[in-house]
Structure 1
Amino acid sequence: MPEAHTSTSDLSGRTVLIAGATSAAGDAATRALLAAGAGVIATGRDAAKLAPLAALGARTETIDLTDEAAVNALAERVRHDGPVDGVLHLVGGWRGGGGLAGQTEADYRALETSLTALRNVTRAFDAALRASPESRVAIISSTAVTRPLAGGANYAAVKAASEAWTRAVAHGFAKAARDGDTALHAAATIFRVRALAGLELQVADAFVALWDADASAVNDTMLEIAPHPTSV
């Protein structure tokens, strides 16, 4: 049985898109968001893997997020139901090893799909996120960005680019608020982990908790999520 989530946030009436939800992290995030009262749109390539999330109460969308036209069509369909109040980007994976010479073009292109999906989703849903009274965007990055190794150069490069893109999203939110002379209500945040396995619940709760903070406090910020200290 899944562990209980610690967040007490109330996201009733919010709608959150999980990009790449067919993982342990996607399952944890779906459960945490639903428990907080949010509506969840869970996306993934495999309808069969999305079925358990539908059983939990999520709306599921089978989609290739690297397909710009498909993502734009999804955004248009969702738009008719109202604003989107959050995006959690979980598209990712690991391929590497073999030192710098082992960083193949095929591996890079496979990892790059995460960045492509991030770019497509944040562009397609940008207007909806800005229309929301309180929206949050978060990605899962890696501590490898701060100390890239030869055997993980492809991976670190894609994560660094994803961080740069997310910071640009954050800048867009801040600029829109300044230009409109309004308070900032949208925020983009980077979560860094050394390894996601074992931290799925912490990441899910950290994402839900972003709504507890003022947007100005979490926009264009980085939070490193580490395992809880082991009791002695």
Structure 2
Amino acid sequence: MSTAGATEADQGGQSPHARPLTVLVAGGSGASGIAVARALAAAGHRVATAGSDPAGIRAAAQKAGDGVTPFTCDLAVLADVRQLRDDVTGALGAVDGVIHLVGGWRGAKGITDQSDDDWDFLERGAITTLRNVSRVFFDDLATSASGRFAMVSSTALDKPTAAVASYAAAKAAAETWTLAMADGFRRASGAGGSQAAATILVVKALVDDDLRRTHPERRFPGATDVADLASAVVRLFGTPSAELNGARLRLAD
């Protein structure tokens, strides 16, 4: 999914007469969330960002710019996600897209030192949040003419190593759930299915300008810039669902 030479239409930008979509960026406080929210808003969408720290998610929304509305929510708590749906719908309208950027990373030396604390962290961040958000917003996405769900996964699943066993297992579970969502969209609305799509975006790592400035000695080989991730996310809304539903799209170099 190269971004070179892409037009506004290629990037999924809204025409002046198109209905603006409401897109939730789950995990909007980090560099990737800011970049994705900024790009979606620039394309003409109404953007909601969600994070558990009120000050953090507000600051991130300000960095993302106009058209981005922050909401505080612990996405690992199902009741809180249900409240989030009510809040976002009330403020911005029914949700047409969910971009899941919650996760985190933990590693070890091998199999025997994969800790329970690390697994609990990864299960909560990578799996539980995704399960909650997908269950709460599934019907909204399935009934939207432009419904899109996307998660970010890792090339670590291509050839898992002992050092990243817990991380790779958590990402694999999240991918499996997302593929099951894709099947749910196919089955929705009778024989015709839904126009919604669930997609996996695969990266080796994500990098941004602040990270490059903090570590000028590092080259970040194979990493995907958060701006390129954001462009890929925006294009999801301008690409036919048949090309996206159940797809695993590799953004890594």
Distance 1:123 1:7 in 2: 34
Q: CA deviation at 1:152?
A: 0.3
Equivalent residue, structure 2, for 1:67: 77
The 10-residue stretch of structure 1 (61-70 or 183-192) with the greater mean CA deviation from structure 2:
183-192
1:67-106 superposed matches below 5 A: 67-80=77-90, 81-106=92-117
* Identical aligned residues as a percent: 41
CA contact (8 A) 2:197 2:241 kept: yes
Equivalent residues, number: 221
Q: CA deviation at 1:10?
A: 2.1
* 1:177-201, Cα deviation, whole Å (9 max, x unpaired): 4x1x436310010011111225211
CA contact (8 A) 2:185 2:193 kept: no
Q: Any unmatched runs of 5+ in structure 2?
A: 208-223
Q: Which runs of 4+ in 1 moved over 6 A?
A: none
Distance 2:7 2:49 in 1: 20
Q: SS of 1:69's equivalent?
A: helix
Equivalent residue, structure 1, for 2:30: 23
Q: CA deviation at 1:6?
A: 5.6
Q: SS of 2:177's equivalent?
A: helix
Q: Compared with structure 1, are the counterparts of its residues 7 and 154 closer, same or farther at alpha carbon in structure 2 (3 Å cutoff)?
A: farther
1:1-232 superposed matches below 5 A: 8=8, 9-11=12-14, 13-55=20-62, 56-57=65-66, 58-80=68-90, 81-113=92-124, 114-177=126-189, 179=190, 181-182=191-192, 184-197=194-207, 198-227=224-253
* 1:149-168, Cα deviation, whole Å (9 max, x unpaired): 10100000000000000001
Q: SS of 2:119's equivalent?
A: helix
Distance 1:67 1:184 in 2: 28
Q: CA deviation at 1:92?
A: 1.0
Distance 1:162 1:208 in 2: 21
Equivalent residue, structure 2, for 1:230: none
CA contact (8 A) 1:83 1:131 kept: no
Q: Any unmatched runs of 5+ in structure 1?
A: 228-232
Q: Compared with structure 1, are the counterparts of its residues 7 and 50 closer, same or farther at alpha carbon in structure 2 (3 Å cutoff)?
A: farther
Structure 2 length normalisation: TM-score? Answer: 0.83
Structure 1 length normalisation: TM-score? Answer: 0.90
CA contact (8 A) 1:188 1:221 kept: yes
Q: Compared with structure 1, are the counterparts of its residues 134 and 38 closer, same or farther at alpha carbon in structure 2 (3 Å cutoff)?
A: same
Distance 2:55 2:200 in 1: 29
Q: CA deviation at 1:216?
A: 0.9
CA contact (8 A) 2:142 2:194 kept: no
CA RMSD of aligned residues (A): 1.7
Distance 2:41 2:158 in 1: 34
The 10-residue stretch of structure 1 (105-114 or 44-53) with the greater mean CA deviation from structure 2:
44-53
Q: CA deviation at 1:52?
A: 2.9
Q: Compared with structure 1, are the counterparts of its residues 149 and 72 closer, same or farther at alpha carbon in structure 2 (3 Å cutoff)?
A: same
Distance 1:213 1:105 in 2: 40
Q: SS of 1:111's equivalent?
A: helix
CA contact (8 A) 1:199 1:226 kept: no
